[in-house]
């Protein structure tokens, strides 16, 4: 199963539409968590807002994650050792309040931590690749130095 | 004397995921009380006290007033030594309430802000007792860098 998520802040029709168009050429089942999307997909299963526990269940059973460039999903994928393709929201198209997702995606691409797709073609190329492996793994906690710094300050 | 107490605050989503990656380590030393914007978030911090607060963005700022009072109530009841948040707007309001009640206030700007501090982070930097960025190149004398939620330096 491939799990697609757009977060809980705003719709992302352009992205869901592309996924829906690619779906018939993919063998795996695709489940998408959407939010207030006006576009109705024909080829994929969609679910509305998911509470964290149910979200995690779907996330854990997926073999591939495809999402907007939201850090919650990205951190979860890196920690759970799942390959993830991110497709940033573009503020100029009304998909977010500012262009930080483009910047996040660019930075994570430079670091080589995730697959970044900017358009339908790139997304399709990644999804149809057979052996998409996780590019980077992280632990469950923030930097020790950050924790120490906070502890020193709090006392 | 009991453990010192920290209020840990974040909106549901990426902010909450980032907060937990920090606060879970703090739980070893402190009594951590959580505030977030969805009832189910409490399931991820079982064993800790949890308060639900209202979600809003900077664009529906009228919710700020009731939210401020709710935060006053929680802070006066819990009497934390420090308040820590990874954002977004609800965390900023809690931090502000904490500042007015003379608590230590810590803003950790989301790792999603790679080019400049978030708008909420810039506001927090006007009053919070400590502000962190998660990217070294965004740090200066006032905006500190000590690591990030990825666990890397």
pLDDT at B105 over 80: yes
pLDDT in tens, A40-90: 999 999 998 887 778 889 999 999 999 999 999 999 999 999 999 999 999
Q: To the nearest whole angstrom, how far is the Cα of B52 from the nearest Cα of chain A?
A: 14
pLDDT at B22 over 80: yes
The per-residue pLDDT for A8 is 80
**Does B21 lie at the interface with A, CB-CB under 8 angstroms?**
yes
Mutate which: A143, A145, A152, A155, vs B, most B CBs within 10 A: A143
The per-residue pLDDT for A48 is 87
Kindly provide the ipTM of the predicted complex, given to two decimals: 0.96
The full set of domain ranges for chain A reads: 2-154
Whole-prediction pTM value? 0.95
Q: According to the 3-state scheme, what is the secondary structure of B26-90?
A: HCCCCEEEEEECCHHHHHHHCCCCEEECCCCCCCCHHHHHHHHHHHHHHHHHHCCCEEEECCCHH
pLDDT at B153 over 90: no
Chain A neighbors of B104, CB-CB under 8 A? 153-154
Q: To the nearest whole angstrom, how far is the Cα of B106 from the nearest Cα of chain A?
A: 8
Chain B neighbors of A73, CB-CB under 8 A? 14
For residues B128 and A32, give the distance between their C-alpha atoms in angstroms, rounded to a whole number: 39
Q: How confident is the model at residue B1 (pLDDT cuts 50, 70, 90)?
A: low
**Does B32 lie at the interface with A, CB-CB under 8 angstroms?**
no
Q: Which of residues 61-80 of B touch A (CB under 8 A)?
A: none
pLDDT at B40 over 90: no
Q: To the nearest whole angstrom, how far is the Cα of B51 from the nearest Cα of chain A?
A: 16
Listed range (A25-29, B128-132, B136-140) with the worst mean pLDDT: A25-29
pLDDT at B58 over 80: no
Q: What is the CATH topology of the domain spanning B5-144? A: Rossmann fold (3.40.50)
Q: What is the CATH topology of the domain spanning A2-154? A: Rossmann fold (3.40.50)
């Amino acid at each position: 199963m491939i799990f697609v998520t757009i977060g809980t802040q705003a719709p992302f029709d352009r992205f869901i539409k592309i996924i829906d168009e690619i779906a018939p050429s993919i063998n795996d089942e695709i489940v998408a968590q959407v939010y207030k999307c006006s576009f109705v997909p024909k080829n994929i299963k969609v679910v509305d807002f998911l509470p964290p526990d149910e979200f995690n269940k779907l996330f854990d059973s997926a073999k591939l994650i495809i999402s907007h460039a939201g850090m919650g999903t990205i951190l979860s994928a890196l920690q759970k050792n799942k390959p993830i393709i991110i497709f940033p929201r573009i503020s100029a198209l009304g998909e977010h309040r500012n262009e930080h997702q483009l910047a996040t995606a660019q930075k994570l691409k430079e670091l080589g931590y995730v697959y970044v797709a900017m358009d339908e073609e790139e997304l399709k190329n990644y999804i149809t690749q057979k052996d998409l492996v996780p590019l980077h793994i992280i632990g469950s906690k923030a930097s020790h130095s950050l924790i120490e710094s906070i502890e020193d300050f709090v006392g | 004397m009991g453990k010192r107490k920290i209020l840990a605050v974040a909106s549901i989503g990426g902010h909450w995921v980032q907060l937990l990656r920090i606060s879970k380590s703090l739980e070893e030393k402190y009594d951590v009380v959580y505030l977030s914007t969805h009832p189910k978030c409490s399931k991820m911090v079982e064993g800790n006290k949890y308060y639900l607060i209202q979600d809003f963005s900077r664009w529906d700022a009228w919710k700020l007033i009731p939210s401020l009072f709710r935060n006053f109530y929680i802070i006066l009841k819990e009497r934390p030594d420090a308040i820590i948040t990874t954002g977004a707007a609800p965390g900023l309001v809690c931090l502000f309430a904490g500042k007015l009640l003379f608590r230590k206030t810590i803003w950790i700007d989301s790792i999603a802000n790679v080019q400049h501090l978030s708008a909420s982070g810039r506001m927090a930097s006007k009053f919070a007792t400590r502000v962190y960025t998660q990217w070294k190149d965004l740090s200066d004398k006032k905006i500190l860098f000590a690591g990030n939620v990825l666990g890397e330096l």
